[in-house]
Amino acid sequence: MRTQVAIVGAGPAGLLLAQLLHLRGIDSVVLEAKSRHYIEHRVRAGVLEHQSVDILNEAGVGARMMREGLLHHGLMLRFSGQVHRIDLTALTGRAVMIYGQQEVVKDLVAARVATGSPLHFEVEDVQPQEFDTDRPRVLFRSGGTQQVLECDYIAGCDGFHGPCRVSISPTELKLFERVYPFAWLGILAETPPASEELIYANHERGFALLSMRSPTVSRLYLQCAPDESLENWPDERIWSELQTRLGSGRDLDLRIGPILQKGVTPMRSFVAEPMRHGRLFLAGDAAHIVPPTGAKGMNLAITDVYLLAEALARHYRDGQDDRLNEYSATCLRRIWKVQRFSWWMTMLLHRFSDDSEFDRRRQLAELDYITSSRVGAQSLAENYVGLPL
């Protein structure tokens, strides 16, 4: 088997890369360890930067997003029971789109299937090899048969736990990591969102977030312990804690509804440098993780593969490798700014077990600055809607 670009992973990064390459006349094969049903139903992030919306539209996969997605022009910050609105559109001229990652994945899988190009699910034992030579290849097993995929380039879009990053010699990689002493307990619930806009709450019992997926489905999160067991969280406790942290009664009409999904998301900041090793290019979570507070994970994956598709097109169309050579540095410049923002949002909104009165005062001062200075609010808004490519 031979292709131009072997893509490992069919999340938003791998599938979007396949589609962008297809539009540029470049062949690829996509390999995914999980089943189609699994990747189309795993509940993940839901906020798209305006630029991500443009890229998905340009890739020809934005029609359903434009119909069903919810355009948000602002967000709410709730501190000490008081709500402050950040008017994203007044501050930046931009908005964000609420549209679930699994919906993006469904649209991308449909587009891939329509091209008739290879997309293999439930492959096992994926091994990227020889990427420091001119003849890289990927070994894998599919339906019990051992396969060899020869290619010009390998794109590692296989997430934090995938085989690509770990196939690089540790001496060639520099890792940066910060693990936070808490996690998010997230639920998807069949209940209309209690607020038209997202509410990020800093409460003395911990952070909470009200988000949504549609006019009838809410997505809600609570800060919890990093090793939290779901057994400790029967539905009643989740709703009562959400009401305490987000507000209830006159403040907010948070209506209890059936919980469709429950999960715990660990919080970490992580970067692996560089993102290119010979003919292997890392993109998305394979190269970096951000804590979800800034809603940036899927957006970084989208911008990484957009740059990678452009760089590969320049190679195949113009015979120039300048963009491929610059890929890692160009991505990392943006990634570190997004890391900074995600860390900052995390530090602004959470309770730390060793919180001092100093930290509390610092958070309140930060909020006061954001809500009283246009420049302060604009900095948050500019980062939230997305920095330019």
Nearer to ligand PHB, 96 or 108 (CB): 96
Angle between helices 50-58 and 297-318 (to 10 degrees): 40
Q: Which of 12, 22, 50, 72 is catalytic?
A: 72
Q: CB nearer to ligand PHB: give 7 or 295.
A: 295
C-alpha dihedral sign at 378, 103, 119, 129? positive
Catalytic residue among 292, 315, 327, 350: 292
327 is catalytic: no
Whether 296 is a known active-site residue: answer yes
Q: Which of 22, 288, 296, 315 is catalytic?
A: 296
- We find the least distance from the C-beta atom of residue 220 to ligand PHB, in angstroms, to be 9
Query: Taking CA 378 as the corner, what is the angle to CA 295 and CA 374, rounded to the nearest 5 degrees?
Result: 145
Smallest separation, CB 209 to ligand PHB (Å)? 6
Which positions lie near ligand PHB, rule CB under 6 A? 45-47, 198, 209, 211, 219, 292-293, 295
Q: Which of 200, 221, 306, 327 is catalytic?
A: 200
Choose between 201 and 209: whose C-beta lies nearer to ligand PHB. 209
Cα–Cα distance for residue pair 34/40, rounded to 1 Å: 10
Cα separation of 126 and 269, whole Å?
26
**Closest chain position to ligand PHB (CB):** 211
Mark whether 72 is an active-site residue: yes
Question: At its nearest, how many Å lie between ligand PHB and the CB of residue 219?
Answer: 4
Cβ closer to ligand PHB: 23 or 217?
217
CA proximity to 254, closest of 264, 263, 241: 241
Q: Ramachandran region of residue 80, left (φ > 0), alpha (ψ -120 to 50) or beta?
A: left
Least separation in angstroms between CB 101 and ligand PHB:
8
**Is 200 part of the annotated catalytic residue set?**
yes
Q: In which element (H, E) is residue 259 found?
A: strand 259-273
How far apart, in whole angstroms, are the C-alpha atoms of residue 378 and residue 72?
16
- Please say whether the dihedral angle defined by the alpha carbons of residues 162, 168, 170 and 173, taken in this order, is positive or negative: negative
Instruction: Give the torsion sign (CA, 171, 175, 181, 185).
Output: negative
Catalytic residue selected from 180, 306, 327, 384? 384
Report the residue number, 89 or 127, with the smaller CB distance to ligand PHB: 89
Shortest spacing between CB 374 and ligand PHB, in angstroms: 23
Annotated catalytic residues are: 72, 200, 292, 296, 384
